[in-house]
Amino acid sequence: MSGGLVCAAIDDLGRHPAGCGCGRSPETLDEAVAAAVFRAAIPQAARRRDLLRAVGATAVLAAMAETFPLGAATALAQDAGKIEKPNLKIGFIPITCASPIIMAQPMGFYAKHGLNVDVVKTAGWAIVRDKAMNKEYDASHMLSPMPIAISLGIGSNQQDWQLPAIENINGQAIVMANKHKERRDPKTWKGMRFGIPFDFSMHNYLLRYYLAEAGIDPDTDVSLRVMPPPDMVANLRADNIDGFLGPDPVNQRAVYDGIGFIHLLSKEIWDGHPCCAFAVSKSFIAENPNTFMALSRAIIDATGYANKAENRKEIADAIAPANYLNQPPIVVQQALTGTYADGLGNVVKAPDRAGFDPFPWQSFAVWIMTQMQRWGQLKRDVDYQQVAEQIYLATDAAKFMREQGQTPPGTSTKTFVVMGKTFDPAKPAEYLASFPIKRAI
Amino acid sequence: MAPLISIEGIGRSFGDGPPVFEDLWLSVQQGEFVCIIGHSGCGKTTVLNILAGLDRPSAGAVLVAGQEITGPSLDRAVVFQGHALLPWRTALGNVAYAVRSRWPRASRNEVEARARRAIALVGLAGAELKKPAELSGGMKQRVGIARALSIEPKILLMDEPFSALDALTRGTLQDEARRICTSSGQTTVMITHDVDEAIYLADKIVLMTNGPNAQVAEIVVNPLPADRVRTDLHHDSRYTAVRNHLIDFLVDRSRTFRDAPPAGYDRTRPPVARPYHDVRGVVPNALP
Amino acid sequence: MTARLRAPLLSLALLAVFLLAWQIAVSGTGPTGPAMDPEYAKLMGITATTGKSAMPGPIDVAQSMIEILRDPFYIRGQNDKGLGIQLLYSIGRVAVGYGLAVLVAIPTGFLIGMSPLMHRALDPFIQILKPVSPLAWMPLALYTIKDSNVSSVFVIFICALWPMLINTAFGVASVRQEWRNVAHTLEVGPVRCAFTIILPAAAPTILTGMRISIGIAWLVIVAAEMLVGGTGIGYFVWNEWNNLSITHVIVSIIVIGLVGMALDQILARCQRLVTFPE
């Protein structure tokens, strides 16, 4: 057991640098772990050699074991164990929300964590859900409400799904047709038609919230239509809809093609709102625990990278080609960097237009469920906290974030403000009751 | 000698109406060429179909060689009115199809040889590989005859085989048919409404009254000699006699017979007539 | 001018008129609004800055077609493969779905054609299932089969089945009675009769049904692939639509039409082989 300690020049992976000459290398995981702990305790190689020569390896080990839980450390290290299924298929919708999932392929994040992932472009949310539930995909890009809807059996068969990481925060926008340039007060929007990408989406809930705050009932005063994102631009051009709350790059594309203007960034409704998610089925996690961990690490790693402003242009260029988003790079850049044309003649600089924060706050899940109940999607009472804890894997996310050198928050719930109104996740029933416009429960 | 074909009291009705015919009796000896003549609707085609086995009588039975027939058979070959050749096969192919049906275990060479022989028999050697669409009406009917003969049937049944052809072709084919049938002694039953054709080809001519409730009025024995030549028939006075007899029947008695049958008329044994006038005034003998 | 050349020349003339009208329609420039700040203009697309029509003209389409067809078999990633490869995927699916439909339709059609009882018994099912659109079958297929490739093939199968089935039944039932009589008088057994008399007699009608069916199959696969995605010409169209690249969509439409025509011609040739003059 002590063989691996003898050479203090061993590098991080337990290998001898060239010319070390001691002739020993760690033979077991235990040895490697012990060597790593030893190095961490005494960073200077020379001092380590002195100590070993002085008291011998066994004594050093015993001393370490008293102060440091080597056994637990070994168990933890076993996390980097054999990946059960290194070749994976992950579905995605070609929007910038999925940037971490998509960019992890060309930019090597999957490979770095030992995975070979095929990211498969999919036609729409219902299809990606069906394929994910059929196990044609091992994991999937989903809208953050979708794992909740699927696990509660709303709008589809019931299957247990979990959300190990949020993909992005903010990054959406309300786009209106050019003819409405002078009609930007939402109180005047009665009778209009709006596009949304899916019933179980933050887009739907944010738009409804925004309209309701202006006194418009989203079911009776206006007409909300579900449509795939590229159809939103085409429908706007054809005057089938007056506006939409959609994902990028569709928003920027509408401006680029001269059809509409950006009326409101979604962060103005709720700064820090979740949008899309990385979702995995509970059965996948149970059958492939190591793979799940490697995958989560890769994605959280990529998300952290994406959050840094200096990386945004590089990412835009990586995901714009036909294999991924298939959009002109300048459009994707505007969406990700936040320096964009707004369709009204102004160049706006809003660097936090889109954000990438992987932490799945359980309060997000509670808020989503209140809105599901508000609009009649969820008709029965559920234990919000329990569902949120089961689906939004805040603890796991925190662990993975720490491993990648990110700083996760200390708690898994928080209060936040949506259009000036505070949401307290401990009091969801009161929150729900406080809205004048809602569907009868 | 027992007849080859014995039609014993067959009747055929369709639905609720009066029967086309009932209690019809007729016999055909081996080697005889019999023509059945009558107006349309008298059921002569029905009789032929029953003989062929394509139709079943509502009553009565048909015996061939002493055995009651229950359906179609390779022993009773049919030449259809509209040649009924398979248009996707060549002439040779059509005849070979019949040969193959008769001798399913024969080798390909044997089948082809038989087919070629039959085609040569009807005078179409050289046209074997033509498809029916490339053949004239007369040639198609010859192929039909070749097909029927190629299976060496006991009985040949022909349903107005030449009525769809022009007069010249008809004449040629009648010659062929007579040549083939007399040389091989083929037992043949043929339907026709052409009196001259019946006189030329048949040994016996069966006269049927008009339908419904048609009957076999008479069986006319052909007075003309076996070596008769079609183009010379009209010179023979016996021809005139038999022809007049037949025409008289068709014009008049075919209608009136049912209501006024002759005394002693027995359906099971229709009267035999021998209308002729021998130029020398001598009654020729030997016709049964 | 010989009579034989007249029709092709007329077609070309019509085509030229159409292309000219198309080019003129897209040549006008639309409104651009007030003059743009150059930095702003850099962020905007051609339609907004120059007012060029968003609809491409025949010249744009021709250029795009040359560019796409120059390298039809590239693979630049899971989701980005050349048009040639996508077509092969689609044709492959059509082959399997259509092939299965043939294997089911023709024997079943035979059965129905030979037996008036079966015809009456099965007819209500056929009449109800026949008009169902492939887009309605697709969700049901995905739900039960749970595999998008197999579902696409199934949808092709279920939609291509009916013309062949109905035509086969009709063709078999209307075989001329005199040919059947020939078979009877030659004591031909039912199996031999089916293969040597009924099948060749009904073949032209059957092939007509098959020709209709291949057209339907090709139509369906494009729709199914747009819905289900992954690979295929339908997916290619959808991918280009996602990018709002109308030019590529038009090129795809032309290619789809050409392949459809080619498939139809193949079946037409087969049809000529079995047709006989009466």
Tokens of C105: 């339709």
Q: From A189, A102, A113, A83, select the one nearest A141 (Cα to Cα).
A: A102
Question: If you count them, how many residues does chain C have?
Answer: 278
What pLDDT is attached to residue B266? 85
Do the beta carbons of residue C4 and residue C23 sit within 8 Å? no
Section B135-140 average pLDDT: 91
List chain C residues with CB under 8 Å of B98: 186
Using the structure block, give the residue that is written with the tokens 């179409």: B124
User: What is the sign, positive or negative, of the torsion defined by CA atoms of A49, A50, A52, A53?
Assistant: positive
Per DSSP, the three-state class of C55 is coil
Residue with tokens 């988003």: A325
Whether residue B128 contacts residue B136, with contact meaning beta carbons closer than 8 Å, is answered with no
Contact status of C237 with chain A (Cβ, < 8 Å): no
CB-based burial label for B132 (10 Å; 0-12, 13-18, 19+): buried
- Which pLDDT value is given to residue C195? 93
Query: For position B279, what pLDDT does the model report?
Result: 47
Separation between Cα atoms, residue A296 and residue A154, nearest integer Å: 26
CA distances for A85 relative to A78, A287, A424, angstroms:
17, 10, 40
pLDDT at B241: 87
| CATH (residue range B1-75+154-288) | 3.40.50.300
Q: Determine whether the interchain pair A256/C226 forms a contact, defined as Cβ–Cβ distance below 8 Å.
A: no
Q: What is the pLDDT of residues C20-61, one digit of tens each?
A: 998 888 887 666 556 667 777 777 877 666 666 677 888 888
Could you tell me the residue range of the domain that residue C229 belongs to? 83-274
At B210, list the tokens: 């008009």
Q: Any contact of A with C, at least 3 CB pairs below 8 A?
A: yes
**Contact predicate B57/B32, CB 8 Å:** no
pLDDT at B60: 92
Can chain B be said to touch chain A, i.e. do they have 3 or more Cβ pairs within 8 angstroms? no
Q: In Å, how far is A414's CA from the nearest CA of chain C?
A: 37
The answer to whether residue C29 is domain-embedded is: no
For residue B176, pLDDT over 50 is answered with: yes
What's the domain count of chain C?
A: 1
- pLDDT at position B285 is 44
Of A123, A134, A229, the CB nearest to C229: A123
The residues near A293 (Cβ < 8 Å, ≥ 6 apart) are A79, A400
Q: Which residue has the tokens 């050409």?
A: C258
**C137 lies in some domain:** yes
Q: Return d(Cα A150, Cα A321) in angstroms, integer.
A: 32
Q: Is residue C64 part of a domain?
A: no
Cα separation, B7 vs B27, whole angstroms = 6
Asked if B98's CB is within 8 angstroms of C186's CB, the reply is: yes
Closest Cα in chain A, distance from residue C27 (Å): 17
Residue whose C-alpha is closest to residue A401's, from A346, A358, A369: A358
A327 interaction partners in chain C (CB closer than 8 Å): 243
Whether B280 and B229 have beta carbons less than 8 Å apart is answered as: no
Residue ranges of B 39-98 with Cβ closer than 8 A to chain C? 52-54, 71-74, 76-78, 80, 82, 84, 86-88, 97-98
- Interface A-C: count of C-beta contacts within 8 A: 101
The answer to whether residue C5 is domain-embedded is: no
Chain B closest CA to C167's CA: distance in Å?
Answer: 20
Residue contact A134–C238, C-beta within 8 A: no
Residues in chain B closer than 8 A to C182 (CB atoms): 78, 80, 84, 86
Distance, in Å, from the CA atom of B160 to the CA atom of B148, rounded to the nearest integer, reads 14
Average pLDDT taken over every residue of chain C: 87
CATH number at residue C147: 1.10.3720.10
**What CA–CA distance (Å, rounded) separates A302 from C174?**
69
Residue C169 covered by a domain: yes
Cα–Cα dist B138/B168, whole Å: 10
pLDDT in tens, C109-153: 999 999 999 999 999 999 999 999 888 888 888 878 878 888 889
Q: Locate the domains of chain B by residue range.
A: 1-75+154-288, 82-152
Is this prediction's pTM over 0.90? no
Q: CB-side exposure of B62: number of CA atoms within 13 Å? A: 26
* Positions in chain A short of pLDDT 70: 1-33, 35-36, 40, 43, 64-80, 441
Q: Which of B158 and A63 is assigned the larger pLDDT? A: B158
Give pLDDT, residue B288: 45
Which secondary-structure segment (H or E) carries A232?
A: helix A229-237
Specify the pLDDT at position B226.
85
Both tokens of residue A299? 């994605």
Rounded-to-integer distance, Cα C250 and Cα C262, Å = 18
Q: Which residues of C touch A324 (CB under 8 A)?
A: 77, 79
User: What residues in C contact B101, CB-CB < 8 Å?
Assistant: 186-188
CA distances from B197 to B127, B161, B263 (A): 27, 11, 30
The yes-or-no verdict on residue B281 having pLDDT over 50 is no
| Token duo for residue A100 | 């971490």
Q: What is the CA radius of gyration of chain A?
A: 25
Q: What pLDDT score does A69 carry?
A: 60
DSSP string, B15-80: TTS--SEEEEEEEE-TT-EEEEE--TTSSHHHHHHHHHTSS--SEEEEEETTEE--S--TTEEEE-
* Alpha carbon separation from B267 to A100, B32, B40 (Å, rounded): 103, 21, 21
Residue C40 domain-assigned (yes or no): no
Which of these, B43, B2, B40, B1, lies nearest to B23 by C-alpha position? B43
Domains of chain A in sequence order: 3-80 (no CATH), 87-170+274-433 (3.40.190.10), 172-268 (3.40.190.10)
Q: Using a CB-CB distance cutoff of 8 angstroms, which residues of chain A are in contact with residue C241? A: 230
Q: What DSSP character marks residue A105?
A: T
With CA atoms as reference, report the closest residue to A228 among A124, A157, A327, A96. Answer: A124
ipTM for the whole complex: 0.87
**Is the predicted pLDDT of residue B284 greater than 50, yes or no?**
no
SS3 at position A95 = coil
Nearest-CA distance from C218 to chain A in Å?
Answer: 20
DSSP E strands in chain B: the ranges are 5-12, 21-28, 33-37, 59-64, 67-68, 76-79, 155-159, 187-191, 204-208, 216-221, 272-273
Cis amide bond preceding A249, omega within 30: yes
Alpha carbon of C275: minimum distance to chain B alpha carbons (Å): 8
- Chain C residues whose CB is inside 8 A of the B73 CB are 185, 187
Region at B90 (left for phi over 0; alpha for psi -120 to 50; beta for the rest): beta
Provide, as residue numbers in chain B, all residues whose Cβ is less than 8 Å from the Cβ of C197: 86
Q: Could you tell me if residue C216 is inside a domain?
A: yes
| Smallest Cα distance from C197 to chain B, Å | 8
| Number of DSSP helices (H) and strands (E) in chain A, helices first | 20, 16
C177-190 mean pLDDT: 93
Q: And the tokens for C182?
A: 């020939």
Tokens for C181, please give them: 């009589």
Residue of B nearest to C188 (CA): B101
* β-bridge partners, A176: A243, A261
The predicted structure's pLDDT at residue A2: 45
Task: Please tell me the predicted confidence (pLDDT) of residue A51.
Answer: 75
Q: How far apart are CA A414 and CA A363, in angstroms?
A: 6
